Structure 1
Amino acid sequence: MQITILNGPNLNLLGTRQPEVYGSTTLQDIETMCAAKAEALGASITFHQSNHEGTLVDLVHEARTTSAGLIINAGAYTHTSIALMDAVASVALPCIEVHLSNIHARESFRHTSYLSPVALGLICGFGAKGYELALEGLVAHLRKDRS
Structure 2
Amino acid sequence: MSDTVYVLNGPNLNLLGTRQPEIYGHDTLEDVQRLCEEVCTANRATLEFHQSNAEHLLIDWIQEARRSRGLVINPAGYTTTSVAIRDALLTCDCPIYEVHISNIHKREAFRHNSYVSGVANGVIAGFGILGYRYAVERIFA
- Smaller-chain TM-score range? over 0.9
1:92 aligns with 93
CA drift of 1:88 comes to: 0.3
Question: Take 1:62 and 1:34, find their aligned partners in 2: how far apart are those partners?
Answer: 18
Q: Per the alignment, in what secondary structure is the counterpart of residue 90 of structure 2?
A: helix
TM-score, with length taken from structure 1 = 0.91
Instruction: List gaps (5 residues or longer) in structure 1.
Output: 141-147
**Does 1:129 pair with 2:136?**
no
**Residue pairs, 1:47-126, within 5 angstroms:** 47-65=49-67, 67-126=68-127
Instruction: List gaps (5 residues or longer) in structure 2.
Output: none
CA drift of 1:120 comes to: 0.3
* 1:4-43 alpha-carbon deviations (Å, 9 max, x no partner): 0000000000010000000000001110121012212333
The runs of 4+ residues in structure 1 deviating greater than 4 Å are none
Which of the pair is proportionally richer in helix?
Answer: 1
Question: Take 1:41 and 1:100, find their aligned partners in 2: how far apart are those partners?
Answer: 24
Give yes or no for contact 2:69–2:139 (8 Å, CA) kept in 1.
no
CA drift of 1:69 comes to: 1.2
Q: How many residues align?
A: 139
TM-score, with length taken from structure 2 = 0.95
* 1:86-111 alpha-carbon deviations (Å, 9 max, x no partner): 00002232100000000000000000
Q: Which of 25, 45, 62 is the aligned partner of 1:43?
A: 45
1:15 aligns with 17
Question: Take 2:4 and 2:16, find their aligned partners in 1: how far apart are those partners?
Answer: 25
Q: Per the alignment, in what secondary structure is the counterpart of residue 80 of structure 1?
A: coil
Question: Take 2:20 and 2:125, find their aligned partners in 1: how far apart are those partners?
Answer: 17
Name the amino acid aligned to 1:98: V
Among the aligned pairs, what percent are the same residue? 53
1:33 aligns with 35
RMSD: 1.0
Give yes or no for contact 2:8–2:49 (8 Å, CA) kept in 1.
yes
